[in-house]
Amino acid sequence: MMGIKGSTKVYGLFGDPVKHSLSPVMQNTAFQALGLDCVYLPFLVQSNDIANAVQAVRALHLAGVNLTIPLKERVLPYLDEIEKEAELIGAVNTIVNRNGRLCGYNTDAPGFLASIRAAGFNPSGKNAVILGAGGAARAVSFALAKAGAAGINIFNRGVEKAERLAQDLNAAYRLPTATGDLSSDLAAALEGAELLVNATPVGMYPNHTSAPLLTRNQLHQGLLVCDLIYNPLQTRLLEEAEAAGCRFLNGVGMLVWQGALAFQLWTGRKAPVALMEEAVLKAMETEDRDG
Ligand SMILES: NC(=O)c1ccc[n+]([C@@H]2O[C@H](COP(=O)([O-])OP(=O)(O)OC[C@H]3O[C@@H](n4cnc5c(N)ncnc54)[C@H](OP(=O)(O)O)[C@@H]3O)[C@@H](O)[C@H]2O)c1
């Protein structure tokens, strides 16, 4: 990286793995575009080192970090402050170091919202169906509830996890929820819905040829079908959505917007979202397909 000085603010990504992450190229593009004296680096941090890694943020005066698998849920006890939304979701993907006080945020949730809004979809008053009940599904569900969704149906391989998420959503937002496993009648659940979100890794490289969780006959034209996966850009689920005449969206928007919102928390500046997206897409074209 060119131009690093004694005054350069250091940001980073903690996770395992981080080798193929697109965040460094995305954040460094943004710093350079705005002429900021900042740099963003990947740090391989294993789960059992989370306490040391958070201590290192303080000791090394890192200005901020992102967290990815498997640290988003584990980092919470080590922070000084956690914003309400991140606490409800139970996951922090962004830390801001405010003079040694480490504040945790979840930008996946508003990042997802920003991505669907950028695609012209307003979730207010609409019913949604979510596939999955892990970290991403939690972020998406809380984001939709906060944005005024009318109801959320959660389907997960392990139904207990879906039920736990529904309970947490109800406790915070009191909106109608329903749950089931993946053998449920998904087509029936989709009848009154306008949004379908795949928050499972089904369809992700290198398992991109495996059968999608839904096929075209179960979808209807009134749906926006979002797959949070961005590798490949068009999953088999999105191919089915296209064939069914649905609008569809891949996970690049959420990836870019969660990064843009972290950038804004760190710098107080408006993120150059289009440039960040361009950098991500270019890196995806040129790198091997594990990223
Ligand atoms: N675009 C973005 O910015 C972005 C951000 C975050 C995540 N994502 C994507 O979202 C997906 C989920 O990530 P996550 O962080 O939520 O992971 P996670 O916490 O590990 O949750 C994974 C979820 O998928 C389900 N699942 C896993 N393998 C499955 C299979 N073979 N068949 C059916 N269900 C399966 C799990 O069900 P069980 O509970 O039954 O195990 C669980 O509900 C990944 O593809 C990830 O790349 C994208």
Same domain, yes or no: 278 and 220: no
Query: What are the distances in angstroms from CA 113 to CA 103, 155, 240, 245?
Result: 22, 20, 23, 23
pLDDT digits (tens, 9 = 90+) for 179-209: 999 999 999 999 999 999 999 999 999 999 9
The string of DSSP letters for 87-129 reads HHHT---EEEEETTEEEEE--HHHHHHHHHHHTT---TT-EEE
* Domain coverage including residue 54: 9-106+258-286
Q: How confident is the model at residue 1 (pLDDT cuts 50, 70, 90)?
A: low
Residue type, 65: V
Q: Note whether residue 246 is domain-resident.
A: yes
Atom of ligand 1 nearest to the CA of 72: 15
Same domain, yes or no: 281 and 238: no
- The answer, yes or no, to whether residue 289 has pLDDT greater than 60, is no
> What spacing in Å lies between the alpha carbon of 255 and ligand 1's midpoint?
14
Same domain, yes or no: 95 and 135: no
Atom of ligand 1 nearest to the CA of 182: 33
> What spacing in Å lies between the alpha carbon of 200 and ligand 1's midpoint?
3
Q: Is 280 exposed, middle or buried (0-12, 13-18, 19+ CB in 10 A)?
A: buried
Number of domains, the chain: 2
pLDDT digits (tens, 9 = 90+) for 173-185: 999 999 999 999 9
Which residues surround ligand 1 with Cβ inside 6 Å? 108, 132-137, 156-158, 161, 182, 199-202, 204, 228-230, 251, 254-255, 258
Catalytic residue among 9, 19, 72, 282: 72
> What spacing in Å lies between the alpha carbon of 210 and ligand 1's midpoint?
15
Residue type, 221: Q
Q: Where are the beta strands (DSSP E) in 156-230?
A: 177-180, 195-198, 224-227
User: Which of 157, 163, 179, 196, when mutated, tests ligand 1's pocket best, judged by the most ligand atoms within 8 Å of its CB?
Assistant: 157
Active site residue 146: no
Same domain, yes or no: 266 and 244: no
Same domain, yes or no: 143 and 59: no
Strands 224-227 and 195-198: parallel
Same domain, yes or no: 196 and 229: yes
Q: How confident is the model at residue 286 (pLDDT cuts 50, 70, 90)?
A: confident
Q: Note whether residue 182 is domain-resident.
A: yes
Same domain, yes or no: 237 and 131: yes
